[in-house]
């Protein structure tokens, strides 16, 4: 993709410090919903984070922040999805924040790890905010 905002590692000094929930909440608050469903997800995420200050960690069993991305070719004509081995569903690359409040970097880290593609870039701003349930997979991991 060209012509849009990009993550610029050389200018990251203006970004919030990693590891703080406030960094993730700033990203969520600044998101401009295009549809009612996005506005509702934004509201739910902000409300959830006020109740669960550990929401950046997967140990927060009620739910937690993740970051994901759409990996597309340079012309933005083709995308890449992966068969997730644990949930047996085709999904975009993504994963747990694991304490990182810079959700753009979470998305980049997960996309790079899961695809093996070096040199990926991410949009500065999120394109969507989503709230979804992951089904219970074991007695130690409830639905969340």
HEC string of 17-75? CCCCHHHHHHHHHHCCCCCHHHHHHHHHHHHHHHHCCCCCCCCCCCCCCEEECCEECCC
Where in the chain are the domains?
Answer: 17-115
Out of 28-32, 65-69, 137-141, least confident range: 137-141
Q: Which residues of 106-131 are buried (b: 16+ CB within 10 A; e: fewer)?
A: bbbbbbbebeeeeeeebeeebeebee
Q: 1-54 pLDDT, tens per residue?
A: 333 333 444 444 444 444 589 999 999 999 999 999 999 999 999 999 999 999
Pick the CATH number of 17-115 from 1.10.520.20, 2.60.15.10, 3.40.640.10, 3.90.79.10: 3.90.79.10
Q: What are the structure tokens assigned to 60, written together?
A: 């927060």
Longest dimension (CA), the chain: 47
Residue 9 has phi, psi (to 5 degrees) of -60, -30
Q: What percent of the chain has pLDDT over 70?
A: 79
Which pTM does this prediction carry?
A: 0.77
């Amino acid at each position: 993709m060209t012509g849009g905002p990009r993550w610029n590692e050389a200018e990251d000094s203006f970004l919030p410090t990693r590891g703080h929930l406030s960094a993730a909440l700033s990203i969520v608050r600044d998101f401009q919903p295009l549809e009612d469903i996005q506005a509702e997800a934004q509201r739910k995420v902000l409300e959830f984070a006020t109740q669960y200050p550990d929401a950046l960690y997967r140990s927060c069993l009620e739910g937690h922040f993740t970051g994901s991305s759409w990996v597309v070719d340079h012309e933005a004509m083709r995308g890449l999805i992966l068969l997730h081995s644990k949930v047996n569903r085709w999904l975009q690359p993504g994963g747990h924040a694991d304490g990182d409040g810079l959700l753009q970097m979470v998305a980049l880290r997960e996309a790079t790890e899961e695809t093996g593609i070096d040199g990926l870039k991410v949009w500065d701003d999120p394109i969507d905010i989503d709230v979804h349930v992951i089904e219970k997979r074991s007695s130690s991991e409830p639905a969340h």
